[in-house]
Every structure is written in C-alpha cells, then in structure tokens.
Chains A and B, each alone.
Chain A
C-alpha cells in the first residue's frame, strides 16, 4: 500500500501510542498492585492449609468507608485489606491485622480519625500525607494515642493510651504553663498551645533538617529534646527529658486540638 499522507499517518500513530500509554497507566493504578499481592498471599495460604482449585479471578475494587452522619470518606482499606483478617497472621503492612480493631468498627470510624492521613487518596504517598497538599501525615505506632482524647475522657484510656496520660502528667510536672498558655490558663511568655495539634506541617520551621519525611511528631519530639535544635535563639529551656518522656509529651502536645469531632462518634454521646 502506498501512503500518500505521511504526516497524517505519523500524527495518527503518535496519538494512538499516547492513547495506549494513557489507558495503560490508568488501568495500572498503584493500589491494584497491593490488592493483587494480598489476594495472592491469601491464595497461597489457603493452598498451604490444604485448599484446592485455581485462584479466583481478581476483582479489583476501591474499598470505601463513608462514616455515617459525617462527610468523611476514606479509602485506606483499599490497600489495608487485611486490617480485619486476624486469622491469616500476615506480618507486613499494609496487610497486617489491626491491633484491637473491634472496639472501633472501621465501618463506623474509618481510619484517618485516629491516624490522620488523607482518606480520599489511593496512593501511598498521598494517603499517608507525604505530599505538600496534605498537611497531616499519618500518625504511627504509639503516636496514634494523640487522637484518643478527641472522643474519650482520661479515665477511659488508662489501659489503652498510657503514654497520652503520662504526657499530660509530665506537662503539669514540668510546669510548662509557667511560660505557655493552654485554653486560657498559664502565662503568655511563650506560644499558646491550645491548638498545637492542629498546626499544619508547613507551619513548622524545620531549619537545616528540612525534609519531606519529617512530620509534626518529629518536630515536636526533636524540639522537646533540644528546643534550640531548629532555632538556636529559642528561649525555651532544655529540660533534659528522656526519650520516653519526650515521646509522651509529644503525644500530649499533638493531642491538643480545637477541631470539632462529629458528635455521633464521641464515646459517651454515641447513640
């Protein structure tokens, strides 16, 4: 065949290739990789336990929790598929079964209400809040305790959020309110801490340590250990805190918020 219009042919081919690339990228979204891996792990476990038959065809789907009575939507379980699968005993994230999940059924609470992060997102970096446009990176391990006081009174947390309560004690013991103020109490020689936990990542000056990996929790911890670490002129005294104390205080400081929690989710008020 003789091609008369090479330029049309090339432009057409170019468009076609681009179209193909676009379709390819859109169908291979990051979260699918995690779902595939999860179903494969499930399948090989079933085989190891004596199951038979071929693997079911994969049905990719975005798992989405819409918390009743609020406009919170979260899709963390799109990747964190094993959060309620205590039987399997998967050991790696995002497949680990959640410690203690059933006190807070995920369909009522979702995940970001305790962990922060970006519920709507379906990529790791976005969901875990490592991007500029999401200022609340996820809280990990013990630091999650910073969220409990949104909905609980102290006495309900003695067993499950010990560090938070310890932080509160230390806060009084070290007389932080000798300089700071909190909900109208204390002195005005230092920044008010009433909504310290609401501050956005970019409101903190990380000085020479600036890196997208560092979160508010890192800032607070490092600042409590050495108040001059970011700003050598800081007038906050170095209290010589141990790591454990600094961690507890960090959790407490992060828990200071003025944001409203949806009424229906608060412990005593939950219908």
Chain B
C-alpha cells in the first residue's frame, strides 16, 4: 500500500501529469479555485458561488438537468446515427434492426426517445422556475429571450426527430404538425413546402428532417446554450435575493470590477467580489459534486425507465391509411386542440402571441422586486397571469392527448372509441 501511494505520488510529479493537471489535489482554497478555472469543462462555473444559488430548492436543478439531457441525447443520438439511414425504404427496418439484432440497440433508442420527451418537459419546467423566482428581471432580460429560443429549438429538435422512425405514428404526426404550420397567411404553405421539400411527407421530407435533426438544430442549440451559460456568468451568476450590505443593486457598480483574479478585467456585474466571503462557497466541490450526483441519479432513472418501457413503434408509414384521429406529437396537441376551433387562431395567432408575449415578459413586468424567492408576494399579478397561461397550455394539451378521439370528438378515458 505504501509503495502504491509512492507510485501515485511519483506519478503526480511527472511532467506529463503536471501538464494536464495544473493544480495540486490538497483541498486548499487555491486548489479549489484552480480546479474550476483551469478545467475546460468546469470553467463555465465561477470559482465561487453564492450559498443561495447552491440550494437545490431554488433552481430544482432544472437548467442543469436540461443540459444533462441534451448531453445524453447527443451521445445516444450519435450512436443511433451509426445505424440509421434516412431513406423511406430503410429507416423503418433500421428501427427493427435496432430492436432485434443490434446489441443494446433498443436501449439506445429508448434512452434517446425518453430523454427527448423528458427534455421538453424539463425545459418547460425550467422556464416556469425562472419565472416564479423572478429570475428574468434586470439584468437577465436578454438571457430570458435566449431561453425562449432554446425552448423553441428543443421543441423543434424533438419534432424533427419524431419523423425519423418512419412508422405510422411518425408519418401522421408530422403530417398534422406541418399542416398546422401551413395555416399562417401567405408564408404558411411556403414554410410547409420548404420544410417537406414538397407537398407531402416523403423521401425529401425525411432527408430534410434528418439534416435538421442531426446537424442544423444541434449546432444552433450548442451555440445558443453557450450564449445562455455565458450570459448567466455575465449577469452575475444566477439570481438571488438582493444583497443587503451593498445596498444598491448589483449593476450600480459602473467601473470595471476585479473578479477572482482569474479573468482579469471584466465589465458589468460579475461574481460578487466585495460581498464575500460570508455569503459564498467554493464551487468545487460544493456545486460540482452536487451536479455529478444529480446527473448520476437522473441517468439511473432514465436507464431503469428505458429498461422496462420501449419507445413506441407502430406499423410502417402508410400514406393510404390515415389513422383516426391523427395526432401531432404531444407537445403540440394543445395547438392542435386550438386548431380544431379555428385554424388561423389556434395554429398561428395563439402560438405567435404566446412566443412574443413570453419574450416580452421582462420588459412588461418591470417591477424589480421579488427576485430570488419563489412566488414572491410582491409579484401577485404577474404570477397569477403567468399561471393562467401555463394552466391553459397544460389543460389544452391534456384535452388533446387524452380526451380526443376519432374525428377529434370528445371521449372520456373510460369511453371506448368506435371502430371505423
């Protein structure tokens, strides 16, 4: 054992080791800072964070979870790409091969599918968290906007992935989904045409969706994620209750602030320098360990779920047989429900207003108080209005998913759908 320890110690002295890890292991404050700042993957974090930000109950880890799911999707997605051929002749058979002959193929597919569904949910919850804690208020208005773009990208990634198995579910969900897009005046049909590379969902559409799904959208996503994370740091770390000692708001300091000596001079609000140390803790290991454990836990949950539940795969896509009802992917069923009342209102006006409205929230709600706590009493009106919006979206989605049957008629879950 002693020899082993010597060996490890000797190894740590070598030039190779020192060139990779540029700091010692002993838990000194210097090393804890260096662990973050000298590590490519960790340097997204500040070296120190406010204690408040570490509380799980504040963020529920939802932003981090969204990002972790994105990573899981990237890894499983790349592995799936090895087997997938975006051709109407082969795509469906590839799904069968994944299930029946490829080692761990079905598990990969399940992980990818369930993570994708979960990501849509989690990103939405993250948005709600940010809203209810007032995290979008000055100076974070712009990052909220970036967030909305991320939400749209998440939805669109999920939507484009939906077509790829080329089964009945995929084919008709995309047919219905792209029909919704075509209700926009003038541009609508053109958008649909461009998206599908024609008027029907066929080989061209499959190719376009594939390219969007595996290159264009992920690259955009990566770019916007980088901006999102960068902005979080530039906006002074994640939001929290105002810091009393300083009195004025953070951005009151106009002159360049010296930050942890790691980044040199940076403009704008930066990790609280004057205000530490009572209020802050080292990111390493406090935050980093938490993140790793959280990621491991989620991975286990995803794995168990994917072990027992298979991603749906219906029959081969068949343009001749329209299922009744033909439904869009679940996250668009609220829209489809609205479309069933009025195509233009539900398919165009409502979603456009919703997206623009959400982006504008920080500029409409300029009440600066109530940041850093859940459901602050000082923001009653804003909270009520947003909750009405969320509730409407959820209820419409539930109706579209569970209560609509053939010909978009109303069916209670215990009512049987008539055949034909």
Residues of A within 8 A of B (CB): 5, 7-8, 11-12, 14-15, 18, 21-22, 25-26, 62, 71, 73, 75, 118, 120-123, 126, 132-135, 200, 205
Contact = CB atoms under 8 A, between A and B. Distances in A.
A11 B297 CA distance: 7
A7 B167 contact: no
Main secondary structure, interface of B, reads helix
B389 interface: no
B314 A11 contact: no
Contacts of B315: 133-135, 200
Contact of B100 (A8, A14, A75, A205): A75
B89 A22 contact: no
Given A11-B297, A135-B315, A205-B420, A18 B167 contact: no
Nearest to A11: B296
B307 A133 contact: no
B307 A15 contact: no
B303 interface: yes
B96 A121 contact: yes
Given A7-B293, A71-B89, A18 B97 contact: no
Interface stretch (B101-109, B184-192, B259-267, B274-282): B101-109
Given A15-B299, A18-B303, A120 B313 contact: no
Residue from B93, B100, B299, B313 whose CB has the most chain A CB atoms within 10 Å: B100
A126 B297 CA distance: 33
Interface of B: 89, 93, 96-97, 99-101, 103-104, 107, 167, 289, 292-293, 296-297, 299-300, 303-304, 307, 313-315, 321, 419-420
Contact of B300 (A8, A15, A75, A123): A15
A268 B281 CA distance: 83
30 contacts: A5-B289, A8-B289, A8-B292, A8-B296, A11-B300, A14-B296, A14-B300, A15-B296, A15-B299, A15-B300, A15-B303, A18-B304, A18-B307, A21-B307, A25-B307, A62-B101, A75-B100, A75-B101, A120-B96, A120-B100, A121-B96, A121-B99, A122-B100, A122-B101, A123-B100, A126-B100, A133-B313, A133-B314, A134-B315, A205-B420
Contacts of A8: 289, 292-293, 296
Given A120-B93, A132-B314, A133-B313, 6 more contacts: A11-B297, A25-B307, A26-B103, A26-B104, A123-B100, A135-B315
A7 to B, nearest CB: 6
Given A133-B167, A205-B419, A12 B101 contact: no
Nearest to A71: B89
Considering the complex of A and B, which 6 residue pairs feature the smallest CB-CB distances, nearest first? A11-B296, A120-B96, A122-B100, A205-B419, A18-B303, A14-B300
A123 B419 CA distance: 30
Contacts of B293: 7-8, 11
Contacts of B420: 205
A11 B100 CA distance: 30
